[in-house]
Amino acid sequence: MTNILILEDTVDCLNMITRMVENVSDSVHAVPVRSLEEAREALSKPNVSFQAFLLDINLDVNNSEDMSGITFAREIRNMQEYVFTPIVMITSIANMELTAYRELHCYQFLVKPYNEKDIENLISKLLFISHTGETREDFIIVKKEGINYKLFCKDIVCIKAIPRGVNIVMVKEEIKVLYTSIKQLMEKLPNEQFVQIHRMYVVNQNYIESVDMVNGYLKLKTGMETEIGVTYRNQVRGILNG
Q: Helix axis angle, 36-44 relative to 68-77, nearest 10°?
A: 20
Residue 242: what pLDDT? 60
Q: Point out the residues of the chain with pLDDT beneath 70.
A: 93-105, 129-137, 240, 242
Residue 133: what pLDDT? 44
CATH number of 2-136: 3.40.50.2300
Which phi and psi (to 5°) does residue 185 adopt? -70, -35
The letter for the amino acid at 69 is G
The CB density around residue 83, as the number of other CB atoms within 10 Å, is 16
What's the topology of domain 139-240?
A: OB fold (Dihydrolipoamide Acetyltransferase, E2P) (2.40.50)
Spatial CA neighbour of 72 closest among 145, 129, 3, 6: 6
CA–CA separation, 214 and 217 (whole Å): 8
Residues of the chain with CATH 2.40.50.1020: 139-240
Going by their DSSP bridges, the two strands 108-111 and 194-198 should be labelled as unpaired
Spatial CA neighbour of 50 closest among 120, 108, 2, 119: 2
Going by their DSSP bridges, the two strands 28-33 and 2-7 should be labelled as parallel
Which residues partner with 110 through β-bridges?
Answer: 90
CA–CA separation, 231 and 96 (whole Å): 54
Residue 102: what pLDDT? 57
Q: Name the percent of the chain lying above pLDDT 90.
A: 51
Q: Is the pTM of this model over 0.95?
A: no
Rg (alpha carbons) of the chain, rounded to whole number: 23
Q: Using one digit for the tens of pLDDT, what is the confidence trace for 130-174? A: 655 444 567 888 887 777 787 889 999 999 999 999 999 999 999
Residue 109: what pLDDT? 78
SS (H, E, C) the chain: CEEEEEECCCHHHHHHHHHHHHHHCCCEEEEEECCHHHHHHHHHCCCCCCCEEEEECCCCCCCCCCCHHHHHHHHHHCCHHHCCCCEEEEECCHHHHHHHHHHHCCCEEEECCCCHHHHHHHHHHHHHHHHCHHHHCCEEEEEECCEEEEEEHHHEEEEEEECCEEEEEECCCEEEEECCCHHHHHCCCCCCCEEEEECCEEEEHHHEEEEECCCCEEEECCCCEEECCHHHHHHHHHHHCC
Residues of the chain with CATH 3.40.50.2300: 2-136
